[in-house]
Structures are given as structure tokens and as C-alpha cells.
A and B are shown apart, each in its own frame.
Chain A
Amino acid sequence: MTQDKENQSGKKGLSRRDFMKTTGGMAAVAGLSGGGLLLGAKSAGAVEMPKKWDEEFDVVIIGSGFAGLAAAIEAKKAGSSVVILEKMRVPGGNSIINGGLIAGAGTPLQDKEGIKDSADTMYQDMLKAGLGINHPELARIVCEKSAETIMWTVEDLGVVYKERVTHLGGHAVPRSYYTTNSSGAGIVRPMLDRARSLGLDVRTAMYLERFFKDEDGRIKGVKIRSGYVFPRADSGKAKLIKARKAVVLATGGFGFDVPFRTIQDPRLTAEIDCTNQPGATADGLIQALQTGATPVQLSWIQLGPWASPDEKGMGIGYIFAISAAFPYGFMVDPKTGQRFVDELADRKTRADAILKTGHFAIGIADEKGVKRTAMLDKMVERGIVKKFPNLEALAAEYDINEPGLRETVEKYNAYLKKGKDDEFGRPFQSDAKPVENPPYYAMRLWPKVHHTMGGIQIDKESRVISMARQPIKGLYAAGEVCGGVHGAVRLGSNATVECLVFGRIAGKSAANQDVWT
């Protein structure tokens, strides 16, 4: 067998070579809808096995973010030989630049603050935000394992969190642990250390070119390009790596992949900025689809409502939004000076509300509202957040309708006093104070592409499910490359916990897989 299976069974005469030549994202989707792959049973996407492999391991992990590292640590602890392959020149993917928040229900910090929470409450929050299209069994696992996973990061990895849980939008109660350095690096770096202590180093600049799927339907290895220089497709040297037990795909989302995301949601052109690292492309996802994985909800792409148009990418301004303006202040439409959405609603509700106004929103907090805001000086220094002696100056700077703004302050303070937001039903923090103490702080807000909820289908054991409705033997996946956990909308800090929960499951499952001969 010298040709690819889908090529032989293809109805459109599109050879795999042509298929690969075409721009990645477009090709995958066109090919899938063309029917060749869909018609295949368990051997769809099967290719000829190499006669000789360059290297072999029990478990081959693609990606070095939260999910990939969690899988690597668990597989190695279970006694498997493991290799971690990372496309970029640096480890950690989006995880190492993420905001460092992780949600957990029923945690010690919540107990300390007297916050009542449960896996079921968290699950209901996820379903509500997710518009009910979450894959329930996956969402439930994340909630049930959330608290123990946070404790794993503390006890096994040595992650250090701030003393209080943070209340993020869409969560019924404060439940997010926050790393002391306000970055996901506060979790990833201890994970890298843990992996190193187990004898595992991340091999960077390793691009997944394809899976080797045998006629029996099992994934038996990968072809990679070693020494790959993103985004040069022809860089690096081909290398064949045998996976004696399994491959774990943990390649993340495709937020930075403008062509692919625009296919899924044509509004998300290059004009819309993105909070991700540049390597957050659909490469790994496309390989999984080409090997027969089932796509789930690819067009649900999330924009972050806390993003600043006055800096690039994720930046730091979001810290003011999530720790000051949204929980201890409010957001107004400058045209009216009025609030227009629950500032603690889910991300989609808020991002859509801002986009609907057609212009930047303004997030506002006073001196008391910024007391938990890290890096405030830096934000002010860079002009992302501005500081004002009074509301008049603030209104003038952003051209806000001043009478409207004054009315908003009065109404907001009255709602806070009686503990009920009559307009938008926003929950108030127990330690929130009226917005009346200068100096005032404010930032402009305009959404950016942040997270891709959709991906490939997995089951409770992190097995990748094929379009023939069967697990693809030897292939596991975890993290943002998977779809279904969050449904239509992901809540803040739920990705971190999802990646760690399913990363660990994938690592254990992969290590448990029998060795093929």
C-alpha cells in the first residue's frame, strides 16, 4: 500500500498531495465536506507504516501547554516512556502567557471565606453560559475534579496562589484561584520543573506533520519536522517517531489562525486582534480531522470583553477590568454615560454587548475599587488605564456623556447599598464600596479573539472519537484542541482547569493503553 487510503477512496480525485499543498484550514474543511473521509469506516485516513522509525516512545505528546504537560507528567509517573514535542521555539503555548486563574468548586480558599459552592453549582454555571450545548459528561468531569486538581497543583507541583479567590464573570460565586505572579507561567513553570524532575524535557521546534494511522485504525506514530521555524512550512527535517502506546494531542486552540477562524466565523478577520501567542493555529486540529476525528462546534469562537484596544494582544489592561472595573466598578457606553450589561455576565454576553454599541466601552473604578489590582502603575504608565482627579476629567478624556455618567454613579451606588442591581442583576461583592473616592481610574474596552470552544470530540477517557462513532485507537486529546466542554461560551478560568483535568486523564489513559506489536 503506497497511497493514502483517503486518496484511494476519494470521490473528487483530490490527491493527498494536492490536499496538503492547499492552505491548511481551507483544505481540511473542504476535504471533509467533500466526503472522502466521512465515508471511511475505521481505516479512514490510514497510511502506509514506515519500515523504520527514527525514535520510539510509549507515549508521544504533541504540545507543551497545561494539557500536554499534565499528560506527560501522568504518563511518565505511570511508568511509560514519554516525549513532549512542541511546535514553537518556546514551551508552554498559550498557557504560559495566560492570566493565571483556575476555577475550582469546593476548595479550601472558598471554605476559608465561607463561600458555599459545589461541583453541581459550577456545572450549572457552565451550562448556562454554554447555552446548554456543552457535552454534559465532559463538563461534569471538569467540575467534579476541579478542586482536587487545584490541590494537585499546590501539593504535587508547588504552585503558589494568592490568598483570596477571585469572582469572574458568569460564575455564581468567587471560585478562581489566582497565581501570585498573575500568569499561567505560575503553573506552567512548576509543571516544567516537575517534568524535568521526572527526566522529561520539552523538545521545541517540532512540528506535527501527520499521524501514522495503520489499516487496523490505530495511530502508531507521527511524522514531525524537527528544527521547524514557525510559520515556515518547509523548515525543519522530517523525522518519524513511533508511539508504542499512544499519541496525546494537546495542540491548543486556533485563535491566531486567521484563515481557519474566518472559515468558521467570517466576522473574525485579521482586523480583530487576538490575545493568543502566534502559534495558536489549527495545525494539530487539522491533522486530527484528517485522520478521522469528529469536529465539534468549531464556529463558537470567544472574544474577551476585558481587552484593551490601547495595547497589543492580551496585554495587561484586562487585569484592571477583571479585578477593578467589573467587580468593584462598572462599564459604560460613552455615548450615553449609562451601563449597558451585567459586568459579571459571561464573556459572550459582555463582548456582544460592547460590539453592539459599535464603539469602545469605558470601564471605571475608584480608589477603593483598585485595591486588588496588580500592575496598576504599569497600566497607568503605558496609558492603558488612566487616572483622574474627578469624574468631570474622566468624562472629558473619553468624551463620555457627563450627566449620564453622574446619573450612573448615583444609581450604581444606590443598587450597591440595597444589594440589588435593578437594571442588570449583577451580583455584588461582599466587600464592594460605593464608587465615590477619587482618584478615578478608567480604561477603554474592545473585544479580542481569545478562545476557540470547538475542537475534536473526546470521551470521558480523553479518547478521540472518529466519525465512525468509535474511539480512534492510540489517539487521545486534551485541552483547547477538543470541543464540547464549554459549549457556546467558556467561563473565565475554566480553560486552565479543563486542560489540567483532561490532560491528566489523557496521560493516564495513554499510559494504560496496550503496546502494539
Chain B
Amino acid sequence: MDEPGRNPLNFQYKHAALRLTFVFAGLILSGVFVGCCFAADKNPSVQGGNCQGCHGAQAQVLPAGHVETKGQNMDFCGQCHQGPESSLKGKLPLSHSHFLSGIHCAECHEKIASPEPLRTKQCFSCHISAAEVAKRTAGQNPNPHNSIHYGPDLDCDLCHHVHRQSENFCNQCHEYTFTVP
């Protein structure tokens, strides 16, 4: 029933450069996407930044020569990864940014052995409320968290995915280029 190229699960990027960045990030981090939660499930004591803790001792997940990330957090990453060129926004999977912020599997999923999808109100236990989230992107035009059509009522996971590539729900009909973390 669905028209090719309009599948809401597809993620289309307008700029080749951005797309390439994603391919790169995807290649580097794909193992993390699949393995993280399950591996951490087996070893919930793994801390964010300890790549090998989930990916395995032999895994080369960061570019050669990258500064050691073990024991670090998002603030540490942000010291280098600043500005549009090197920002991790939209590149680092949400599972990683959560992990690096100290949010582990069990903090979102009650049963980490067979995790259930999250409901939006669970996201608000940290992200406060739809109104608060809308405030964070108030400078954006249009504001995806307070659109003409849906106001602040959209579920977070229409766009933001933790264990796979996030997508831009607006782009079912529009062609916005803003980054979806």
C-alpha cells in the first residue's frame, strides 16, 4: 500500500555530506545499535564511554587516534564536538547519548530482558513535558515540537528512535532539513 520513497520509516537527507556523515557514523556505530542494550543487559555495570564494554574487546568503534572515552560522559564529548561541523547531534545514536548521560537500559525499560517500547510520558520523567521540549526548539521555524498541525501532541518516538536511526516525521509531507537527534 505504501508508495516507494514515501515510507514513513525511510530517512531522507537532502545533503550528500550529511548523508555521508551518517553512513560513516552508521558504519562505525552500527554494532553499538544492535549490541548495546543486550550486551549491557548482560553487563549492566558498563559505563557510558566504555565502548569495549558492549562492543567487545577487539571492536574498533571510534576513529584511530580518538581520545580515550572510558569513564567519560556527554559533557566531556561536547568539549571537542562543538559546532555544526563536529556536533554529535543527529550522529550519535540516542542510546549512546543517553548512556553517556548516565541513563542506562533499566532506567527506561522495566524488563531489560524483553524490553517494551516506551510511551511518551515515560520520556517526560526526564524531559519534563511536551511544553518544555517545545521551548527548547522555540527558535526553530517551524518548531517541530509545536507544529500547526499537531501542536505539542506528537509522541516522541514518531521521530526519535533510540535503537535505530531517528527520522523526521514532518518529512512525510515536507522537506525540512533540520537535524533529528
Contact = CB atoms under 8 A, between A and B. Distances in A.
A315 interface: yes
A312 B1 contact: no
A230 B155 CA distance: 15
A281 B151 CA distance: 25
Nearest to A183: B148
A378 B7 CA distance: 26
A25 B2 CA distance: 12
B69 to A, nearest CB: 35
B148 A89 contact: no
A311 interface: yes
A394 to B, nearest CB: 24
A278 B2 contact: yes
A252 to B, nearest CB: 13
Contacts of B148: 181, 183, 185
Interface in A271-329: 274, 277-278, 281-283, 311-315
A270 B173 contact: no
Contacts of B149: 92, 96-97, 183, 185
A185 B150 contact: yes
B175 A274 contact: no
Given A89-B155, A258-B3, A278 B174 contact: no
B8 A312 contact: no
Contacts of B154: 90
| Interface size, B (range) | 20 to 34
Q: Label chain A's interface by main secondary structure.
A: loop
Contacts of A277: 172-173
B150 A231 contact: no
B1 A281 contact: yes
B4 interface: yes
A366 interface: no
A312 B173 contact: yes
A356 B172 CA distance: 29
B105 to A, nearest CB: 22
Contacts of A230: 8
A96 B158 CA distance: 17
Contacts, number: 61
Nearest to A100: B148
Contact of A89 (B4, B6, B158): B158
A259 interface: yes
A433 interface: no
Contact of A312 (B7, B153, B155, B174): B174
A16 interface: no
B39 to A, nearest CB: 26
Contact of A314 (B6, B8, B173): B173
A225 B128 CA distance: 31
Nearest to B12: A312
Given A313-B173, A314-B173, A315-B173, A259 B150 contact: no
Contacts of B2: 231, 278
Contact of B151 (A25, A189, A231): A189
A24 interface: yes
Interface in A221-256: 230-231, 256
27 contacts: A25-B1, A89-B155, A90-B150, A90-B154, A90-B158, A92-B149, A92-B150, A183-B149, A185-B148, A185-B149, A230-B8, A256-B3, A256-B6, A257-B1, A258-B1, A260-B1, A270-B4, A277-B173, A278-B2, A278-B3, A278-B8, A278-B172, A311-B174, A311-B175, A312-B173, A312-B175, A315-B173
Q: Give the top 9 A-B pairs by smallest Cβ distance, nearest first.
A: A313-B173, A185-B149, A231-B2, A281-B1, A96-B149, A183-B148, A181-B148, A231-B1, A258-B3
